[in-house]
Structures are given as C-alpha cells and as structure tokens.
C-alpha cells in the first residue's frame, strides 16, 4: 500500500489494499496529470476541503468497521438529532414571529405617542356659504381678496375650545362638514385650530349608569292579564321600530312614546323590558328622584343625554 507523509496524498490512496500488484497507482497518475497541467506547480486546495476529505475518510473507515446493528443504532441516533433540530427550528421561528409582532406593536405605539396632543373643542355653529361670498372679485382688486372669497365658497365652522375661546374657521379642517353638527366634540390643532378628528360624544357618568348592560330576557308570555296593554304597546312602540318603512309608506306618524301608570306590581316594568327585548333596543332604568339635582338645569340635561344615548344605540 502506498503511503505519503502529506495530507494531500491521502486522496486516491489505496488504504484498503485492494489494488492489484503491478497495477499503476491512480494516485501517482493523478499527481502526474496535475503536474503536467500546471507545468511546475501542483493543484492547490483549500484547508476546508482537505479537512472535509479527511473527516469523510475517517467516517467511512468507522462505518466500514461497524456491524449492521451498530449502523442502525447510528441511523436512529441521527434521526433523533434531526427531529430535535427541527423542533428547535420551529421554536425559534415561532419566537421570531412573536418578537416581530411585538416590534410592530411598539412601532405603532411610538407613532401614537410622538403625535402632538389635540385640543378638545365643541362645534357651536356650521355656517352655509353665502351667495355673495362666492362672487369673483372685480377688476382692480388684489389677489388676496380673490383667495378669501374663494375660501368662502365652502362651509365655515365656529368652535368653542376647552380654553373658553370662540374661534371662526374659514377652512374647517380634515373632517367633512356634512359629518359635523352643533355640540359635537372635535379634536383641533392647538396652534391653527383646524379640526383634525371627530371625537365620540361625551355623556354624563350618571347617565351611563342608567343603561342596563344585559339585554332583558322577559317576553310577553311572562306577563298575565295585560293582553290589551300588550297589543297597544306593540302597535305604539314595537311596530314603528320593526316596520318603519310601512309607516312611512302609509304616511302614519307613530307616537313618540307611551306612559304606563298603575299601582305597583301590575306589570309596568315587565312590559317595558319585554318591549326592549322584542325591539333589540337599549333599556334604561331610571327613577324619578334621580333626575332631581341640586343645580338648576342639571336634571334636564341628564334627560337630554339619556335620549341622545338611546339614539346612538339604534
């Protein structure tokens, strides 16, 4: 068997001793071809290739000396290692996606937190464009007056800020005027007072406490001895809400409400709860003394807030 002191000479060497005697050594033939092709230098190889070839050769020698049972055990061990690596890869992928989601959420929070705060204001009045304001300036007038008249072609808004200032806005801002109405809360820029966002309506916390969180479960079948009252309640309240188009087609104007009176325990509250269940409407439980407040006008404001909140629930 041919043996060489150089690591490069291991490639193609007859390490198994199966080359017939007298046969030409393929390793010497390869070296001769390499020398003849380069002229004076041998073929250069990287260190990684040399190490990889040596490891493959040692692994082949190790496998050749193993039995079938040992090879199967080695195969099972490698399969287990592959499964563990796949599990680790799945876990790392999941953790990476989770971290990316947190990064996106933090970026959104940064965008929100870096925006300047808005000044809370309320709409006092929305003015329609005046016909005379839409006329073009006559000859001889400067361009500033022309631009001012051009701006007056649109609706203008009067707002009242939380700092008790009344501001007239020739250009309302980013919110269309057809979406605004008096007493609406809006967010404005604290410098230019332009309307940037429409805010949800603000209701008194005492009024919010009147609303029942759970939908009433009572039905008309739970009420006995009030068949006539139930029929009148359905015609006066339920049908105008469930079949509004029929009332509009016929031209019948439904009543705005009903008044239930009688001694305690006759089913007044049950009728109201059953009506709210059938119409899928909001149910407010209000006692008369709760509307009596210390300051004048406070109770009437609570009543208005109750009706406004009920309209928003529709």
Query: What structural domains does the chain harbor?
Result: 8-64 (no CATH), 119-198 (2.40.50), 205-313 (3.40.50.300)
Q: Alpha helix locations (H) across the chain?
A: 26-38, 47-64, 68-114, 143-151, 205-208, 227-233, 239-242, 244-250, 268-279, 298-313
Residue 92: predicted pLDDT: 94
Residue 90: predicted pLDDT: 93
Residue 247: predicted pLDDT: 85
The ranges of the chain with pLDDT < 70 are: 1-48, 51, 54-56, 58-59, 130-153, 202-205, 294, 314
Tell me the whole-structure pTM to 2 decimals: 0.40
Cα separation, 111 vs 91, whole angstroms:
31
Instruction: Give the gyration radius of the chain's Cα atoms.
Output: 44
The three-point CA angle 168-173-179 to 5° equals 95
Cα separation, 137 vs 156, whole angstroms:
20
Cα separation, 306 vs 174, whole angstroms:
30
Q: What is the DSSP letter of 152?
A: T
Query: What phi and psi, each to the nearest 5 degrees, are found at residue 4?
Result: -130, 150
Residue 314: predicted pLDDT: 64
Residue 15: predicted pLDDT: 46
Residue 291: predicted pLDDT: 75
Residue 209: predicted pLDDT: 72
Q: Who's near 196: CB < 8 A, 6+ residues apart?
A: 118, 173, 174, 175, 186, 187, 188, 189
């Amino acid at each position: 068997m041919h043996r060489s002191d150089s690591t490069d000479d291991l490639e193609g060497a007859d390490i198994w001793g199966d080359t017939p005697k007298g046969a030409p050594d393929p390793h010497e033939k390869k070296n001769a071809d390499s020398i003849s092709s380069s002229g004076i230098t041998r073929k250069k190889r990287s260190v990684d290739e040399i190490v990889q070839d040596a490891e493959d050769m040692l692994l082949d020698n190790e496998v050749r000396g193993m039995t079938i049972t040992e090879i199967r055990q080695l195969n099972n061990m490698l399969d287990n290692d592959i499964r563990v690596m796949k599990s680790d890869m799945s876990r790392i992928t999941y953790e990476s996606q989770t971290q990316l989601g947190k990064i996106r959420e933090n970026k959104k929070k940064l965008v929100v937190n870096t925006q300047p705060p808005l000044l809370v204001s309320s709409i006092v009045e929305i003015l329609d464009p005046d016909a005379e304001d839409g006329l073009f300036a006559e000859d001889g007038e400067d361009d500033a007056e022309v631009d001012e008249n051009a701006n007056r072609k649109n609706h203008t808004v009067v707002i009242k800020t939380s700092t008790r200032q009344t501001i007239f806005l020739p250009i309302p801002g980013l919110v269309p005027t057809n979406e605004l109405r008096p007493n609406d809360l809006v967010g404005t820029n604290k410098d230019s007072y332009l309307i940037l966002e429409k805010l949800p309506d603000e209701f008194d916390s005492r009024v919010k406490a009147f609303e029942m969180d759970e939908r009433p479960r009572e039905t008309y079948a739970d009420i006995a001895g009030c068949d006539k009252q139930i029929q009148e309640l359905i015609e006066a309240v339920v049908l105008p809400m469930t079949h509004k188009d029929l009332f509009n087609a016929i031209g019948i104007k439904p009543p705005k409400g009903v008044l239930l009176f009688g001694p305690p325990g006759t089913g007044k509250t049950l009728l109201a709860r059953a009506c709210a269940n059938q119409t899928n409407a909001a149910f407010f439980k209000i006692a008369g003394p709760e509307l009596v407040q210390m300051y004048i006008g406070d109770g009437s404001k609570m009543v208005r807030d109750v009706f406004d909140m009920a309209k928003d629930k529709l």
